[in-house]
A and B are shown apart, each in its own frame.
Chain A
Amino acid sequence: MNREGAEVTTVAGAESSDIVRNLTRWTRLLRYDTLRMISNADSGHPGGCMSMAEILTCLYFEVMRVDPRRPDWADRDRFILSKGHGAPILYAALARKGFFPVEELKSLRKIGSFLHGHPDISAPGVDMTTGCLGQGLSAGVGMALAGRHDRRDYRVFVVIGCGEMNEGQLWEGAASASHFHLDQITVVLDYNKLQFDGAVDEVCAPGDVRGRWQSLGWNVLEIDGHDIPQILGSLRQANECRGKPTIIIAHTIKGKGVDFMENAFLWHSLMDNGLLTKYVERMQHELNSDPDRFYAQCLW
């Protein structure tokens, strides 16, 4: 595969407006749940949750084959949140999907809760324990190999962060997925370009991200990670790709949707809970008075 010859793949969506409207609703709700959880726990990582809200919504509410009544269903699609510090929004998605009561979200990071600071496989719906960056893709490769061996047709979705690309293990995993032709793996890169210590370019030059994945034999797609039709289109293209794994480079904004958080890398972790709590109250008020009564029923 030649980098120069590669075309920039833009993915056009052809989704019905009903689907998009529905997913937009869930995204808004997941953002609310997540911020409320973090404010409630007085701890957590809001920035990286906000940046992947649309991605998680599309996966859980449209694309992935999961059944909340059977969290251990052998044929379910697998999801690995390799950037484990984004746990709150995964928990919100799982709760809203019905894997456990929404009430549980109040227990984030509390003793006795299964909603640990980073995802733990003991939580219903969580397929892999994560939180140490760089390990999720390797686990996904193992799951995909097992699926192939067992002749199951499930897919494996892995969401990685951009800072995570510094970890060498990620490239070990990427080489393996390609070597074993694991086309059932789709990695989504939440490319918000900010890591803990600053901009990705300042901390550790990521170089030519697209070229690197291509040089490892991956199918590479590039999208706006907040554009629901593009997300759905790319996930569909990934499902159809044969013989190699797909990475979707999703350009996102850290803290997306919250004015004071957007592109503010200090909001990687909880910066100011007073500010956040006020924001959540305001958001609650807005959702409660929204003419779409869907939100009012979902508040907690």
Chain B
Amino acid sequence: MASTLKGEKTIPTRHAYGETLVELGKLNDRVVVFEADISKSTQTYRFAEAFPDRFFNVGVAEQNMMAMAAGAAICGKIAFVSTYAVFGSMRACEQMRTSVAYPKLNVNIAVSHAGLTAYDDGVTHQAIEDLGIVRSIPNMTVVQPCDAPSTRKAVMAAAKIDGPVYLRLTRIGMPILYDAGPDFEIGKAIRLRRGNDVTIVAIGDMVFQALDAAEQLAIEGIGVDLLDMHTIKPLDQEALLESVMRTGAVVTAEDHNVVGGLGSAVAETLGEHRPTPMTRIGLQDTFAESGAYDDLLRHYGMDARHIIEAARKVMGRKK
């Protein structure tokens, strides 16, 4: 059973992305990368060094970058677009919708600084709306892997999908969870713990908070069914419904506004197929602020302690 490895080395998932791009570039010469002047941050500089003739830095011009990638994809390329999540999902939103998603092109939008992982850069760089925005665009696949190994697999898988993939990455380091772990498949949730008392569905960096919470709840004798829902679209409804049929209560955990993201996606499925008491952990429809990542999670009610409280409460609402 996987568990958080406190004190172990952590790796930002953007680093895993940057490294994997190079591997991908070696395997397939159709892979091209577009960048908007933050290659050292998004880690695409590694690809730029390895394949300078397939790397295009367009400067601070995200809208242009998104549509250029569409042009490249139309010419048969597998395009990766890198920027921060705020800019990829919002500044270039309409270009992503109209020039990329509508014609269903193989443009992979890999964005760093998901949610509060942008921590002290402040609100301008903390994307807390992107999952909701991107999820509502037809033809999109939306993924946030929690650690470096699953990010590697997600990048490889995204290149193979003949359509746009939004890949959400972290600024800060994440522990290694799936070192020799289960097969990662886009669209298939990973069960990290099996239990019959409450389901916790988590995505991205919040998987680690959920793991902590589940371990502490286990000490109290509460069995948590924990799902790493790394793909928010298409959502693994089968795994979700199977789990809540056994537990009858759900907590969702996301580094995102509770409006529009994982909590909303889960609520949509449960509302239609199996109404279940649930609580959404995430930013409660508020902007955050600058600060250390751990302090922000605590302050905005998103750390393991809050997940534990939410789990206890939601269990009390079971029918």
Binding site for B on A (CB under 8 A): 41, 43, 84, 108-113, 115-118, 120, 129-134, 163-164, 166-168, 195-197, 203-204
Q: Are A41 and B120 in contact (CB under 8 A)?
A: yes
CB distance from A293 to the nearest CB of B (A): 34
The residue in chain B whose Cβ has the minimal distance to the Cβ of A41 is B120
B contact patch SS: helix
Known contacts A111-B289, A117-B120; A197 and B37 CB within 8 A of each other: yes
- Of the residues B38, B64, B86, contact of A168 by C-beta under 8 Å: B64
Q: Which of A112, A130, A195, A196 contacts B124 (CB 8 A)?
A: A130
* B residues 84-112 in Cβ contact with A at 8 Å: 86-87, 91
**Complex CA distance for A43 and B172, rounded to whole angstroms:** 13
Contacts of A115 in B (CB 8 A): 290
Q: A117-B122, A131-B124 are in contact. Are A167 and B87 (CB under 8 A)?
A: no
CA A9 – CA B272 in complex, angstroms? 68
Interface residues of B in 119-140 (CB under 8 A from A): 120-125
Minimum CB–CB distance from B111 to chain A (whole Å) comes to 14
Query: Closest approach, in angstroms, between the C-beta of B69 and any C-beta of chain A?
Result: 16
A166 CA to B40 CA, complexed, in Å: 18
Q: Could you tell me the distance in whole angstroms from the C-beta of B298 to the nearest C-beta in chain A?
A: 9
Contact for A196 among B40, B61, B295, CB less than 8 A? B40
Taking the complex as formed, is B4 at the interface, i.e. its CB lies under 8 A from any CB of chain A? no
Q: Which residues of B contact A111 (CB under 8 A)?
A: 289-292, 295-296, 299
A-B contact pairs, 5 of them (CB 8 A): A111-B290, A111-B295, A117-B124, A132-B87, A196-B38
Q: Judging by beta carbons under 8 Å apart, are A204 and B125 in contact?
A: no
B35 beta carbon closer than 8 Å to chain A? yes
Max chain B Cβ within 10 angstroms of own Cβ: one of A43, A164, A203: A203
Q: Is B59 an interface residue (CB 8 A)?
A: yes
Task: Say whether B61 contacts A116, CB under 8 Å.
Answer: no
A132 to B41 CA separation, bound complex (whole angstroms): 15
Is B60 positioned at the interface, with any CB of A under 8 Å from its CB? Answer: yes
In the A-B complex, the 3 residue pairs with the smallest Cβ-Cβ separation, listed nearest first, are A204-B59, A111-B291, A131-B124
Q: Which residue of B lies closest to A44 (CB)?
A: B120
Q: How far is the CB of B100 from chain A (nearest CB, A)?
A: 18
Residues A203 and B37 in contact, CB atoms below 8 Å apart: yes
Q: Give the chain B neighbours of A131 by CB distance below 8 A.
A: 121-125
Give the chain B neighbours of A116 by CB distance below 8 A.
122-123, 289-290
The 8 Å CB contact of A117, one of B45, B63, B121, is B121
Minimum CB distance partner of B124 in chain A: A131
